């Protein structure tokens, strides 16, 4: 048994991420060009196409969310779309539809909605090289073409 006292600490925003604190309320559209940690209240839309959006444990979001990766620890009412992954943690609540390529829903999380698992787009294969004409395939010499005048 450990003798160190237990300290409950709030999760800190990831280093290098923009942060919306728990005493902040925003109504409108948020577009971020960096990772975003939301622990306040958002009503509108939330977008960070190439980055991660984390909804903290105090976060209350009534918005559609689009990002590369979405991590939910708080409450979200709205559709969420991630090009890479959605992670719904054990005390989180999500009411809305999900569209993603990968998903994690921890035991204890609340989710109500539909899930659309999209396959990651594979790079298109290069077109095959042109096939030689059958007359050229038999030998390396070009075919003789006779032209009449």
**Dihedral over alpha carbons 94, 98, 102, 107 (to 10 degrees):** 30
This prediction's pTM: 0.71
Q: Rounded CA gap, 80 and 74, in Å?
A: 14
Q: How many CB atoms lie within 10 A of CB 147?
A: 4
Q: What is the pLDDT along the chain (149 residues), one digit of tens a residue?
A: 445 454 444 555 556 779 999 999 999 999 999 999 999 999 999 999 999 999 999 999 999 999 999 999 999 999 999 999 999 999 999 999 999 999 999 999 999 999 999 886 666 676 776 666 555 555 566 666 666 66
Residue with tokens 């902040």, as numbered in its chain: 24
């Amino acid at each position: 048994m450990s003798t160190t006292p237990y300290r409950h600490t709030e999760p800190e925003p990831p280093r290098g991420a923009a942060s919306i604190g728990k005493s902040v309320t925003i109504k409108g559209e948020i577009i971020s060009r960096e990772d975003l940690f939301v622990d306040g209240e958002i009503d509108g839309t939330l977008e960070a196409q190439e980055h991660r959006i984390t909804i903290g444990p105090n976060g209350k979001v009534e918005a559609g969310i689009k990002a590369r990766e979405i991590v939910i620890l708080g409450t979200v009412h709205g559709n969420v779309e991630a090009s890479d992954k959605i992670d719904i943690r054990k005390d989180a609540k999500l009411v809305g539809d999900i569209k993603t390529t990968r998903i994690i829903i921890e035991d204890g999380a609340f989710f109500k909605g539909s899930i659309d698992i999209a396959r990651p787009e594979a790079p298109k294969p290069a077109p095959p090289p042109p096939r030689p004409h059958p007359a050229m395939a038999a030998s390396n010499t070009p075919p003789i073409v006779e032209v009449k005048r």
